[in-house]
Structure 1
Amino acid sequence: MKFKKVLLGLCLFVSALSFSQEVKKEVLFTIDGKPYYTDEFVRIYNKNLDLVKDDSQKNLDNYLNLFIGYKLKVSKANKLGLQNGKKYVGELKSYRTQLTKNYLTDTKVTKELIDEAYARSKKEVKASHILFLVDENALPADTLKAYNKAIDVRKKALAGESFEKLAEQYSEDPSAKENKGDLGYFSVFRMVYPFETGAYTTPKGEVSKPIRSRFGYHVIKVIDVRQNRGDVTVAHIMIMKPKKDSPEETAKVKSTIEDIYKKLKQGEEFETLAKQFSEDKSTAAVGGKLNRFGSGELSSTVFEDQSFALKQPGDITAPFESQHGWHIVKLIEKHTDRPFDELKADFENKIRKDERSKLIANSMTEKLKVKYAVKKDAKVYAKAVKALNDKIYTQSWEMPKDAAAYTQTVLSINSDRTFSAEDFLKYVSIQQKGGLVVKPIAKQADILFDNFTNDKLNAYYNDNLEKEFPEFGLVMGEYRDGLLLFDLMEKEIWEKAKNDTVALEGYYKNNIDKYQWKDRVDADVYSSTKEDVIKKVKKFLKKGKDADFIKAELNKEGKVEVLEKLGVFDQDSEALPKMKEWKKGISDVVKEGNYFYVVKTNDILPAGPKTFEQSKGRVINDYQQQLESNWITDLEKEFSVEVNKDVFARVKKELNQ
């Protein structure tokens, strides 16, 4: 989403509000009589001061113009009725859901779980397990049966029987027949939380008591505990898999990576070869260097395992294949530990998504029960329960036909939010579809009513966040305006700029100087660390020999003496040697660093204008900016803006102190 464009430098993304200076709330300006206040202006200015890169926007006079321009656009959006659009309403709801996350959790419990996860992340556990399946909502008798099975098999393990054989014989995990229960090494967040806790709290070499998860009961044997292998920084050279899946193309790719590997073994520099030949465009220019990563962070486990297997900085792997292509990896640095602050946000996000989140939600609900006055009407509830029957267990129960008889209030929260018995029965009707198993009905109804109460209690709290937390209301106001502005800009600027081909081509012609190619060459580049080899290449080129012939003649007996790269390059490209003058034909031998080059230049492509199609993306962006500038001028004419200059002078004085 183009949200940064929407806000036009105001950066209204908010994670927390900061009030670095208190300013008296006064009317700063009006638009068609509607007031806008000093506190909002100062809050946004202070919040974004460090984020604004353009110094002109830090100037208070310029910032006021930006702010007024922003509010003019919001005024226009409201005037057009965009706030009633279905898409807008849905997106605002989605943003609110995201924003509420920090308010709907118990921060103390969350912190405890993050601390626990961090401590566990320092270790990797190797464990085996035996699983006895039982559904989360199974009847007590079935649950007890599975538990007793787990107890009996644990006794056999404690008596000295082979855990692997027991897993093979008794485990109801389908993979146990092959792996004999062995799960290998894992760390935090790799298993369901109860299982993880069982593994991390069972001493090495011992067998746990039965551990209940949503899958059933587990008996866990901890085989080993080791330090987490941490993170690594590596560089790589990558040759992508061919687009055409044929034996010939595949062999060519493999041959290329093997030639590069031979050059590395002969002592040539990894970074230089990466710049010349790696097809990972995002890293080639920096010698193939990747950002630091840990286990499970990349899409390729093969790449990770090869990287972690390297021992010393400077070590390289042999060529290996991943799902993306062929790689050679060089170890730059091993990082044994990641700081807590670096992991905190990631851990919190993962906690929200796994079973730990239930602990947080339950804790939050208990606090809300203390915070708000929650009242249940026992008589009305008893009447509602009588309307239930055994059909709820077969998902066939239907609402009573005399629904009007169940309109009395069964639950109230703070006396200003009430729910009827009919509301509760509708809740039961929905919940039965998930499968209800607790008997008798009265006990199942009690569980459902507790869940119903918890849901309504949390919804009540959520609905009142703007009242509970003034800063939340301010943030929502900013999001609300930002989304309106997005819809307006899409309607008035972006779509017009993309689709008005005639206007775009006119803008391109009037600004052709902005859309120019650099000087380029169409060339075949040959490189070697040996001058005599490159001289031979030059002789072959003069005789009209092609790259395949030259490589076949000079790269013999498993040694790669010369590499070639063909294509169209900017004349200042890293892939080319620096030349005093570019001209068609075969160059002299050029030495640069440890390499000798000879270049066959097929064509000189001088600097000149790009075609409209070649520069269309940038033309659209530039044209959008022009449209927007003109549009602001039109808005200033459409709406009446009055600035309270005395108030603004006081604001400037206070902010500049």
Structure 2
Amino acid sequence: MKLKHLFLGLFIGLAFTAKAQNNSKEVLFTINDKPYYTDEFIRVYNKNLDLVKDESQKDLNQYLDLFVGYKLKVNKANKLGLQDGLQYQNELKSYRIQLSKNYTTDSKVTKELVDEGYKRLLKEVNASHILILVDENATPADTLAAYKKISSLRERVVKGEDFGALALEFSQDPSAKENKGNLGYFTSFKMVYAFESGAFNTPLGSVSKIVRTRFGYHIIKVNDIRDNRGEITVAHIMIMKPKEAADSLTAKSTIDAIYKKIQQGEKFEELAKQFSEDKSSASKGGVLSRFSSGQLSSDEFEDQAFSLTKEHPISAPFESQFGWHIVKLLDKFPIKSYDDSKVELENKISKDDRSRLITNSLTEKLRKKYPTKRDSKLYSSLVKLVTNDFYEGKWTLPENAKSFSGTLFTVGTKKLTGTTFLDYVYSQQKSNITVKPVDKLVDKLYENFADDQRNQYNNDNLENEFPDFAAVMEEYRDGLLLFDLMDKEIWQRSKTDTIGLKAYYETQKEKHLWKTRVNTEIYSSTDLETMKSVLAMLKKKQTPKDIKEKFNTKEVLKVMSYEGVYEEGADALPKGTKLELGLSEITNKGDYYFITKINKVIPAGIKTFEECKGKIVNDYQQYLELNWVNELRKEFTVKVNQDTFEKVKKQIKK
């Protein structure tokens, strides 16, 4: 599979940029009477022109031969039925889903959300909130009661009552009992989108308008705004806060003693392993996972960590709610640039509440693009069939459902029947839609059904509406087939046809030659006196092992040596090496001195089959492919319209 991705990688990347170059087209050639048109040939030629290294392939006559050969292979693949393979169909479907995203999202809204997300990412907001819980599907009465309650609390805050005291008393966020509603610092994508917008759109020191999220109603007070501090990696040593207050002095004296050891030069990591009581990090030398503001449960710890610099990387002992700490800065990661953040932000948006804005924008466009008019009489009949059993998941399709198979509405050229809508209603019983009464429920389901059908029709119609999309899909479809065909007809055969490979080698072996080679030992050092001693030892027939043991230790590597068979002119051989048996004199290049000991000289000659097998396999593949294409030209009837081709030449050369 990896090979297939590699084979298609460049091809797919180029396909994204493919555009219809010319709306007019003529038949350039046929294969068994199947036409291939000038517009495709011109588009593909222009697209690949700058990538072709072989100048001969830029020649239009040569390129036409290549293009016809390519289409012959695709025809062969279809003739063999490779297009019916389940794996092929699944891969093609998966790719189409990925490609269609470029055509079925609102790029303008996406860009606006990326811009907004990045702008907010540059800041951190410290905010408090009061929450009154209410479910998204709550009854109107419950929703109204919650709204009135949050409204009265906002009025009290505006009139001057203390926000924290009200949060402590009335907020239904359980954490308010501990933090009086203060959520600390956060930036974009850390909270649900509606809450984030409420915080970032509220001026410093002010209280927001009422904000609705899936949790309920909120009011938000902005306590502080600062520049985003980015992310940081630190290590720490912690002495836990003792349960008994009387023991707190012992904890403080312990952390002070550790700090003194650090100041005396002892290694932070070793002290963390020995003394830190944070068991999750102590064994790693105190190293914590990379974090940003608001990710830890201690403002004191975060503030101390972010205050560290390369010049002052270790903090003095400080206290948090968990105990006493010493923190060491390991690395800081500032906010990335807009361009470097764009893809990551787009990915976050796709998984975030704000993605609904993109979906809703596209839905509105499709409603205008594909207006529908439903059959009122048929619809009224359908509404009467749905009962309150739907809310309990017990509603069943009526026995006479097929009698409602008339057209309910049309999207483009696609007709949707009453029966199809009933099937949709039946499938939605577990979707938690609780709209009441039942006729309003059916209206909601109809609206969702119509929107789904518009989206589906729009997606199915992309090839007809966007020539560039159709071209890319055609190229990818052919590319997948070609890979499977080449694997079947060429690549596997070239690897397994041992007799054919060796026979081909016999016809090509004169092209695969060794220069003169030497089996040699090479010694090097930056110290001339050391090399003089090495030369003396080699003259006494001492071994590389003897030499390394004499000059090298665990701490110092004075002499390096390596042994191998090298061809004349190889980079591994010191410059000027004479291909003669025996020891060389000491030579010099830059800071290094060399001695070469040649143990054997191997004359120039033909490489064995095993010595050049990789190159032979590659050449054999090309040989098989060339002969195979010639066979395909006999199997299929190819007719080129030369007059049309001459027009194409003139058009391209303009």
1:587 & 1:165 partners in 2: Cα distance?
Answer: 87
Contact 2:463–2:470 (Cα < 8 Å) also in 1: yes
Q: In structure 2, what residue type is equivalent to 1:76?
A: K
Q: In structure 1, what residue type is equivalent to 2:337?
A: R
1:585 & 1:170 partners in 2: Cα distance?
Answer: 88
2:547 & 2:313 partners in 1: Cα distance?
Answer: 34
Contact 1:131–1:173 (Cα < 8 Å) also in 2: no
**1:364 paired residue number:** 362
Secondary structure of 1:125's match? strand
| 1:160-559 alignment, distance < 5 Å | 160=162, 162=164, 166=168, 171-172=173-174, 182=183, 186=187, 188-189=188-189, 191-204=191-204, 208-209=208-209, 211-214=211-214, 221=222, 223-226=224-227, 338=337, 340=339, 347-348=345-346, 350-414=348-412, 416-500=413-497, 503=500, 544=546, 551=553
TM-superposed deviation, 1:103: 2.3
TM-superposed deviation, 1:223: 3.9
1:150 & 1:13 partners in 2: Cα distance?
Answer: 55
2:180 & 2:608 partners in 1: Cα distance?
Answer: 61
Q: In structure 1, what residue type is equivalent to 2:108?
A: K
1:598 & 1:135 partners in 2: Cα distance?
Answer: 80
1:114 & 1:466 partners in 2: Cα distance?
Answer: 29
1:128 & 1:205 partners in 2: Cα distance?
Answer: 9
1:506 & 1:431 partners in 2: Cα distance?
Answer: 66
Contact 1:534–1:589 (Cα < 8 Å) also in 2: no
Contact 1:208–1:219 (Cα < 8 Å) also in 2: yes
Distance of aligned partners of 1:401 and 1:195 in 2 relative to their CA distance in 1, 3 Å threshold: same
Contact 2:574–2:594 (Cα < 8 Å) also in 1: no
TM-superposed deviation, 1:450: 0.8
Distance of aligned partners of 1:637 and 1:577 in 2 relative to their CA distance in 1, 3 Å threshold: closer
TM-superposed deviation, 1:23: 8.5
1:207 & 1:515 partners in 2: Cα distance?
Answer: 83
Moved more, 638-647 or 3-12: 3-12
Distance of aligned partners of 1:136 and 1:77 in 2 relative to their CA distance in 1, 3 Å threshold: farther
Residue deviations 1:483-512 (CA, integer Å, cap 9, x gap): 332332232223334454555566678767
**2:320 paired residue number:** none
Contact 1:9–1:52 (Cα < 8 Å) also in 2: no
Contact 1:193–1:355 (Cα < 8 Å) also in 2: yes
Residue deviations 1:367-402 (CA, integer Å, cap 9, x gap): 222222301233322322332233322333322233
The answer to whether 1:67 aligns with 2:64 is no
Moved more, 150-159 or 489-498: 150-159
Moved more, 93-102 or 150-159: 150-159
Residue deviations 1:268-300 (CA, integer Å, cap 9, x gap): xxxxxxxxxxxxxxxxxxxxxxxxxx999xxxx
2:547 & 2:622 partners in 1: Cα distance?
Answer: 52
Secondary structure of 1:376's match? coil
**2:267 paired residue number:** none
Q: In structure 2, what residue type is equivalent to 1:649?
A: E
Q: Return the index of the structure with the highest Cα Rg.
A: 2
2:626 & 2:130 partners in 1: Cα distance?
Answer: 66
TM-superposed deviation, 1:210: 5.3
What stretches of structure 1 of length at least 5 have no aligned partner? 232-293, 297-305, 318-327, 556-560
Residue deviations 1:424-466 (CA, integer Å, cap 9, x gap): 2221222222323233222222221111110011212222233
**1:43 paired residue number:** 43
TM-score by length of 1: 0.66
1:588 & 1:308 partners in 2: Cα distance?
Answer: 57
**2:102 paired residue number:** 102
Contact 1:515–1:615 (Cα < 8 Å) also in 2: no
Contact 2:193–2:354 (Cα < 8 Å) also in 1: yes
Q: How many residues are matched?
A: 555
The answer to whether 1:655 aligns with 2:652 is yes
Contact 1:537–1:598 (Cα < 8 Å) also in 2: no
Distance of aligned partners of 1:588 and 1:62 in 2 relative to their CA distance in 1, 3 Å threshold: same
Contact 2:521–2:562 (Cα < 8 Å) also in 1: yes
TM-superposed deviation, 1:417: 2.3
Q: In structure 2, what residue type is equivalent to 1:171?
A: D
Distance of aligned partners of 1:545 and 1:401 in 2 relative to their CA distance in 1, 3 Å threshold: farther
Residue deviations 1:4-31 (CA, integer Å, cap 9, x gap): 88689987842244455x5963332222
Contact 1:515–1:609 (Cα < 8 Å) also in 2: yes
Secondary structure of 2:362's match? helix
Secondary structure of 1:89's match? helix
Residue deviations 1:174-202 (CA, integer Å, cap 9, x gap): 9x97999656554x445543344334323
2:535 & 2:161 partners in 1: Cα distance?
Answer: 78
Contact 2:20–2:467 (Cα < 8 Å) also in 1: no
Residue deviations 1:406-436 (CA, integer Å, cap 9, x gap): 323333334x322222222221222222323
Secondary structure of 2:649's match? helix
TM-score by length of 2: 0.66
**2:285 paired residue number:** none
**2:52 paired residue number:** 52
1:310 & 1:600 partners in 2: Cα distance?
Answer: 51
Secondary structure of 1:642's match? strand
Contact 2:125–2:200 (Cα < 8 Å) also in 1: no
1:91 & 1:615 partners in 2: Cα distance?
Answer: 36
The answer to whether 1:15 aligns with 2:16 is yes
Moved more, 539-548 or 482-491: 539-548
Residue deviations 1:582-625 (CA, integer Å, cap 9, x gap): 999999797855xx789999999999999989987776555433
